[in-house]
Structure 1
């Protein structure tokens, strides 16, 4: 082989080696680094996260229709037929703080057709109280409130009331309006003979939803198997009803959860008691959103009979005490089984007591049935949820109602809070400091303020030490010498806040 040929062969070998090395290098780079423009649908994407705290600027509250019996069909002798009697209703709609507009209309109706619009001439300041009155005779009402800004003290607090002096609904029923949620829990009195328990689930949205219902009873620990099924479909702008007395009969009390799949719902239970042909009262059970180790119930008066319903998710030691202006007086102490509703009969409220406190070793949900007797063996009752202190809260007083505020200090020290009363056009008519020692309770009779023209009250409690509610009665019922009682709870006006996490994806075309 010539010298020239050997030189060409060497260069070919060198060139081949270099080519192999370049190919290997490129392959290695391709494995380690892949630009995002290659395979844009690849799961390997460039991301960045931003966390924001947001508050809603539009609020909805559901106000249930007036109380009604489940079956008004005409059969048999007229004296044995169920009857709503001369049932009447009223409602008070209020919004507080930095509100742009608040309107009220029938559930399912277009907002543009709202029958009531709450307004004030100087709308927009933080001191504004928007107020309107109406009835719930034609069905449930939906209040829509648009906020100028979200802040503590801004929101809606409305209420409804039914009353009758004839028929099977003699007495008074009242409730605070309900904020829809994906999950709501309710404490319900018993399903023994003579009790009617209608669970009403309302869907204020424009999309139908399916709700799952779970029930725990008083007979044993654990959820019950419902004889009527555990699922309800609720159409857009509609209500669906489940008879809890048929679904879980023979219980002394129930703890009920309502969970929606697609959209927030509002739930209430219409509870009616009869003893043969004698009316034994009616009231609404509204969602019980609080599970805590220390709670309180107000609105009691001497002679009331009290049954306490307690649901712990874990075994708990529970102590119950009466409260008056001097402090606590222990009345009952028990260890309660988990996932079961325990009923504690506290008997009659003693002289001077106006409330009670519940202390537990584990968080518990608590409600009470407060019973009052009238003439001719008639009776009425109030269903009230135990609550915890709120920094700023409010209540609307139903039109045509007589009301008394009850307040309890559940903290370990003497505390002071501010109670403000407003008339039917939203003007401030009274403001007073409420000072209570540890464990003490008191009442404020709204009939003594502004000649009884008090349409709403707010409560500022910066130390979050006091629990309060309003006891409702009605003059027509009282004049007929009938028992008539209901107790409505406060609405929290603390700014609602949600944490939203946003991810930026560089592969998404803007």
Structure 2
């Protein structure tokens, strides 16, 4: 090999060694240093993030099927067999405000059973109300509503009712229809002997989901270990049922949370009480997602017996007061343990009282069981959630129901709100201003308005001081001298808003 060739070979070796060293050095530097533009969460990226407030234009509302007993199997003598009796049902669907289309169909099907409105014409006003009626005898219904625009006063507020004058479900059961959510909380009455508590979880989506259930009881603080397990699978367009009386037996009350992993779900609890062969009532517990220091319950009447259920996440001092047309009258004061449901027996509702207020030093969730007696030892009860004032809200009055509006002013000053009543065609039949003294409550008989033809009511409360609901009964039940009572809470028509943030991420290839 010539001298020139050996020199070129040496230089190639030197360059190769240098190249290897440079590559190793670059790798080492990359391991400890990355430019700021690479990091998705870098200060530069954060400065370029954009936030936007969005509101849904598509609403879903789940209306549960009529009340039914858990076990209708025929066994033993016929006189001892459980029976739904002559159970009947009705449902009222309403859509308020800037609505383009609202339709109703069975859960899990694309079949439409009732259309509230197909297309809104150009002359339609934003305060239009669309109303339709039906039944839930053949299963749960799903109301789908498309909005022209999202604004306060626009949305769906629907409710259902079932009733019977014989069998094991004598009385009245009613509920507002439920908006699906990823998490819902419910306050449930006791699981003692003779009480059936069926948690019904509905999944209106096209994707199955797993639901986690947590329960707090009245015996001790902390979540209970459920004997039936704490996970429930709900198929697409299906319902799944958990027997809470079996899962957490011998409790005086329960606080239940239902959390879905993948899709929003709707939950209700069917509560049925029997004393041997004697019917002691039935009703629905619907989601109770309100936790506050000041709450109110309406729809009470002289002669009712009331048990109040209160759940605080922190120890709280609680004061409970009756309300009537003149103000409040303190009836009970207690210090309540955290993470435990406390049951307060308030006894009989005094003359003239129509509601309760609950004041606490820490936020609490509360509900009441309101019991009324009928002939032959029969009884019925209503499960009613404590609530807070809303700016604009509405309630659908189920078909075949007799209803009474009950309103409480929770503020420290006299306040005025506007109550509007609509007939079955969605026309306004009465609009009146309600002026209520501080801490006082009042009632309005819907039977006195438009000869009782009232299909829906709304309340506009600019000061957000009023809590209200309707107490419903049914003529066939009343004529049979049976107790029949249920209370339907108001649906908030406040515009739903969510804050969405978007950040630039240079690591994502377009």
Aligned partner of 2:428 in structure 1 is 428
* Alpha-carbon distance in 2 for matches of 1:35, 1:311: 51
Aligned partner of 2:114 in structure 1 is 116
Is this contact kept in 2: 1:46–1:505, CA < 8 A? Answer: no
> Residues 193-248 of structure 1: CA distance to partner in whole angstroms, max 9, x if unpaired?
00000000000000000000000000001110100000000000000000000000
Aligned partner of 1:155 in structure 2 is 155
- Is 1:251 the counterpart of 2:230 in the alignment? no
Q: 1:301 to 1:42 in 2, by over 3 A?
A: closer
User: Secondary structure of the residue that 2:258 maps to in structure 1?
Assistant: strand
* Alpha-carbon distance in 2 for matches of 1:224, 1:458: 39
Query: What's the CA shift for 1:504?
Result: 2.1
Q: Which runs of 4+ in 1 moved over 4 A?
A: 30-37, 40-46, 120-124
- Is 1:63 the counterpart of 2:58 in the alignment? no
Aligned partner of 1:15 in structure 2 is none
Is this contact kept in 2: 1:120–1:128, CA < 8 A? Answer: no
Q: 1:33 to 1:209 in 2, by over 3 A?
A: closer
* Alpha-carbon distance in 2 for matches of 1:51, 1:330: 47
- Is 1:200 the counterpart of 2:231 in the alignment? no
* Alpha-carbon distance in 1 for matches of 2:100, 2:40: 47
- Is 1:387 the counterpart of 2:387 in the alignment? yes
Aligned partner of 1:6 in structure 2 is none
Query: What's the CA shift for 1:503?
Result: 1.3
Is this contact kept in 1: 2:100–2:120, CA < 8 A? Answer: no
Aligned partner of 1:363 in structure 2 is 363
- Is the deviation greater in 118-127 or in 85-94? 118-127
Is this contact kept in 2: 1:45–1:507, CA < 8 A? Answer: no
> Residues 252-298 of structure 1: CA distance to partner in whole angstroms, max 9, x if unpaired?
00000000000100000000000000000000000001010000000
Aligned partner of 1:130 in structure 2 is 130
Q: 1:44 to 1:350 in 2, by over 3 A?
A: closer
Query: What's the CA shift for 1:127?
Result: 1.3
> Residues 319-346 of structure 1: CA distance to partner in whole angstroms, max 9, x if unpaired?
0000000000111111111100000000
Aligned partner of 1:348 in structure 2 is 348
Query: What's the CA shift for 1:33?
Result: 10
User: Secondary structure of the residue that 2:168 maps to in structure 1?
Assistant: helix
* Alpha-carbon distance in 2 for matches of 1:277, 1:328: 40
* Alpha-carbon distance in 1 for matches of 2:429, 2:369: 32
Aligned partner of 1:417 in structure 2 is 417
Which structure 2 residues correspond to residues 49-448 of structure 1 after superposition, within 5 A?
49-110=49-110, 113-119=111-117, 123=121, 124-448=124-448
User: Secondary structure of the residue that 1:416 maps to in structure 2?
Assistant: strand
Is this contact kept in 1: 2:69–2:83, CA < 8 A? Answer: yes
* Alpha-carbon distance in 2 for matches of 1:131, 1:294: 33
> Residues 481-503 of structure 1: CA distance to partner in whole angstroms, max 9, x if unpaired?
00000001000000000000011
* Alpha-carbon distance in 2 for matches of 1:244, 1:36: 54
Select the structure of larger CA radius of gyration: 1
Is this contact kept in 1: 2:40–2:506, CA < 8 A? Answer: no
Query: What's the CA shift for 1:125?
Result: 2.1
Is this contact kept in 2: 1:65–1:136, CA < 8 A? Answer: yes
User: Secondary structure of the residue that 2:503 maps to in structure 1?
Assistant: strand
Aligned partner of 2:499 in structure 1 is 499
Query: What's the CA shift for 1:136?
Result: 0.3
* Alpha-carbon distance in 2 for matches of 1:53, 1:42: 22
Q: 1:240 to 1:121 in 2, by over 3 A?
A: closer
User: Secondary structure of the residue that 1:206 maps to in structure 2?
Assistant: coil
- Is the deviation greater in 474-483 or in 43-52? 43-52
User: Secondary structure of the residue that 1:478 maps to in structure 2?
Assistant: helix
Is this contact kept in 1: 2:221–2:338, CA < 8 A? Answer: yes
Is this contact kept in 1: 2:39–2:505, CA < 8 A? Answer: no
Gaps of 5+ in 2: 1-17
Q: 1:429 to 1:139 in 2, by over 3 A?
A: same
Q: 1:505 to 1:328 in 2, by over 3 A?
A: same
* Alpha-carbon distance in 2 for matches of 1:34, 1:184: 44
Query: What's the CA shift for 1:505?
Result: 2.6
- RMSD of Structure 2 on Structure 1 (CA): 2.4
Aligned partner of 1:9 in structure 2 is none
> Residues 119-159 of structure 1: CA distance to partner in whole angstroms, max 9, x if unpaired?
28865421110110000011000000000000000000000
Gaps of 5+ in 1: 1-18
